[in-house]
Amino acid sequence: MLFAGTDTSSGAMEWALSLLLNHPQVLQKAQNEIDTKTCKVRFVDESDIVDLPYLRGIINETLRLYPTVPLLLPHESSEDCISEGYNVPRGTMLLVNQWAIHHDPKLWTDPEKFKPERFEGMEGTRDGFKLMPFGSGRRSCPGEGLAVRMLGLTLGLLIQCFDWKRLSEKTIDMTEGLGLTMPKAEPLVAKCKPRQEMQDLLALL
């Protein structure tokens, strides 16, 4: 449980920061949203996340493009059935490929593009069965609430407190690695420095 809770969250954070470094205009917009909420006089708090829709859109879009668990846990059909024209006998082991669902052009406009704005007006992390990074139903991930809060707060603080830069003009490699939790093939390496407007607050730590 500890591995499942930490590896998936750290992986999602790495993907999110990589996407932001490749899309600096999105990073700037997220900083502006947080600055407006906190008035630059305090650190972003967990209770603020619900009022930061663009930050939540970044998290949703990251989990859509790079779900930390691309194949949901296996299920077994309890009865013979027909699904989408396929005969599924009782006892068949079934896997849901959520990576394919999240990249399906029939469900998403420009599915390969990073567009946090596509989640404007959406509450939570679900959009029917189009977006389900934590699974769905009775067997969905029990750590969903904790993961969303942890991602929101940690990513929010990293965006608020630091200016992030790539090591060069070359974009971050977004190649997917192999594994149950789909890591980046190349670990993220980036530069950061405290934001000028946050130095007084950071000095109090």
Q: How far apart are CA 2 and CA 54, in angstroms?
A: 29
Cα 128 to Cα 33: distance, rounded to the nearest angstrom: 27
Residue 2 token pair:
């500890």
Q: Which residue has the tokens 């594994």?
A: 179
Q: How far apart are CA 148 and CA 9, in angstroms?
A: 9
Q: Are 125 and 143 in contact (CB under 8 A)?
A: no
Beta pairing partners, 192: 164
Distance CA 108, CA 54 (A): 18
Is 141 annotated for ligand binding? yes
Residue 154 burial by Cβ neighbours in a 10 Å radius (0-12, 13-18, 19+): middle
Q: Can you say which residues are annotated as belonging to the binding site for heme?
A: 141
Q: Can you say which residues are annotated as belonging to the binding site?
A: 141
